[in-house]
Amino acid sequence: MPTPHSSNNKNYFVSLEEAKNLSKTIKIPIFEEKLTIQDTHNRVLVNDIYSKINDPPFDNSSMDGYALIYSDTINATQSNPIELQIIETLPAGEESNKKLTSGFAIKIMTGAPIPSGADSIIMIEKTKQIGDKVLIYNPSYPNYIRKKGENLSKNQLILEKGTHISPREIGLLATMGYSEVSVIKQLKISIISTGDELIPPGQELLPGQIYESNSYVLEGLIKEMGHFPIRHASVTDSIDNLRMELDKASEHSDLIITSGGVSMGDFDLVRKIMEEEGDILFWRIKIKPGSPPLFGKWNNTPIFGLPGNPVSSHVVFQILINPWLRYITNTKGPPLKTIKVKLLENIKGTKDSVTLRRIVIENNGSEMVAYTKTHQGSGNLHSMIVANALTMLPPGKSGKKNETIDALLF
Ligand code: AMP
Ligand code: MG
């Protein structure tokens, strides 16, 4: 039986940094699997990836036009064009077996290998074709040749292990000739929302009820990080139901995330059951909004208890669970970007806590400026749509108009 923690435990009401550091002391085993590249979206590379090829693999034309010899065109003018004999038309995917000599041109399409003897491409728009002749009206400097290996060299380190794979990386893996790669195996993450008042969207609201939304947000955030969410139906505020659901979740998942029931109310039973039957590593963080999160273990499975307020649960996932997941999986991304912004208004901070106000960041033409737009209640999920960032005001600090502060983009 784990030891119950008392509210004067030293890990109660910790700073954000302390919470992040403490959370790193709980780890879970991480495995890898091989996947075909089309299945790797949002997953994380386990190995450094070296290019199997030079990209491009051969010199090729970057234009539809004519391959020719520059010195043939040196005296070409609008009134006195040079005439060259077209000896071949070369599509992409084919190689010419002819050697180009002075007085001749090969019509060439974008991507086709440069014929031997040619040192320049002139784009089609600058020429006029008459039968099997082409007129050139200006000197064709050695242009429009994409050189072998100018993008990637064979055996060059291109993607580092820990890279979060987006469609761009998938494209690059294909470019380099990889059909499959090893990635981190998805963590199974149970999401349990709690509250008597919650019903799923789609049903009719009875007095006192609201639609449950946190589990949907969390599901998306987990997927974005490449893991596997298991969304449970929400649990009513009953210790027995909660215990049953936590037991079930701990059996089939690597991590449990709950929402609701972690603050000071009479029915905040996630906190209560964790205090009495679970193992709490920390409870309450000096952030506003979102101060009541807890982290610990239930039956040896790590568990984050998020606050129920929709803004808080979203924000705490991003500033606490996202870094933890990236830490335990050695992932470099997706990073939450911090940028400097100039405030267009005063923003009040809090004495003890990091203040996370939702702000709109815009480029005013010369710099990034920020302002609040909606009311900041932590129940107002719409404010997360209208805004695009959070202030990161350190404890005891208010933001003054025209001051530059750190903001976290989301
Ligand atoms: P709690 O943390 O349980 O005290 O909940 C704080 C507030 O968030 C209450 O107004 C709840 O109704 C609301 N809330 C809790 N869980 C959810 C949820 N899953 N979806 C939407 N709102 C929620
Ligand atoms: Mg509740």
Q: Angle 323-324-325 (CA atoms, 0-180°, nearest 5)?
A: 95
From residue 81, alpha-carbon distances to 136, 140, 268 in Å are 5, 12, 86
Instruction: Give the pairing of strands 389-391 and 358-363.
Output: antiparallel
Nearest C-alpha neighbor of 311 from the set 366, 267, 365, 374: 374
Ligand 1 atom at minimal distance to the Cα of residue 307: 2
Task: Please tell me whether the peptide bond between 142 and the residue prior to it is cis, using omega within 30 degrees of 0.
Answer: no
Quote the percentage of the chain above a pLDDT of 90.
93
Nearest C-alpha neighbor of 246 from the set 315, 301, 284: 301
Burial code (b: 16+ CB inside 10 Å, e: under 16) for 49-83 equals: bebeebbbeeebbebbbbbbbeebbeebeeeebbe
Instruction: Give the pairing of strands 65-68 and 210-211.
Output: unpaired
Among 110-114, 257-261, 287-291, which is the least confidently predicted range? 287-291
Residue 293 in contact with ligand 1 by CB distance below 6 A: no
pLDDT at 10 over 70: no
Nearest C-alpha neighbor of 15 from the set 407, 405, 397, 395: 395
pLDDT-based confidence at residue 374 (cuts at 50, 70, 90): confident
Q: For the chain, give the longest Cα–Cα distance.
A: 96
What are the tokens at 254? 């690597």
CA dihedral of 213, 216, 219, 224, whole degrees rounded to 10: -110
Q: Angle 359-364-370 (CA atoms, 0-180°, nearest 5)?
A: 15
pLDDT per position as a tens digit, 201-245: 999 999 999 999 999 999 999 999 999 999 999 999 999 999 999
**By three-state DSSP, how is residue 121 classified?**
strand
How close is the Cα of 261 to the center of ligand 2, in Å? 4
From residue 197, alpha-carbon distances to 208, 234, 235, 308 in Å are 6, 10, 10, 11
How high is the pLDDT of residue 7?
A: 45
Residue 214 in contact with ligand 1 by CB distance below 6 A: yes
What are the tokens at 129? 């074709």
Ramachandran category for residue 225: left, alpha or beta (phi over 0 → left; psi -120 to 50 → alpha): alpha
How high is the pLDDT of residue 375?
A: 81
β-partners of residue 256 are 190, 303
pLDDT at 326 over 50: yes
How high is the pLDDT of residue 183?
A: 98
How close is the Cα of 233 to the center of ligand 2, in Å? 15
Residue 193 in contact with ligand 1 by CB distance below 6 A: yes
Ranges of H-type helices in 225-268: 239-252
Average model confidence (pLDDT) for the chain? 95
Query: What is the C-alpha separation between 308 and 306, in angstroms, rounded?
Result: 6
Helices 239-252/269-277 angle, 10° precision: 70
pLDDT-based confidence at residue 2 (cuts at 50, 70, 90): very low
From 203, 259, 270, the mutation candidate for ligand 1 (largest count of ligand atoms within 8 A of CB) is: 259
Closest-approaching ligand to the CA atom of 231: 1
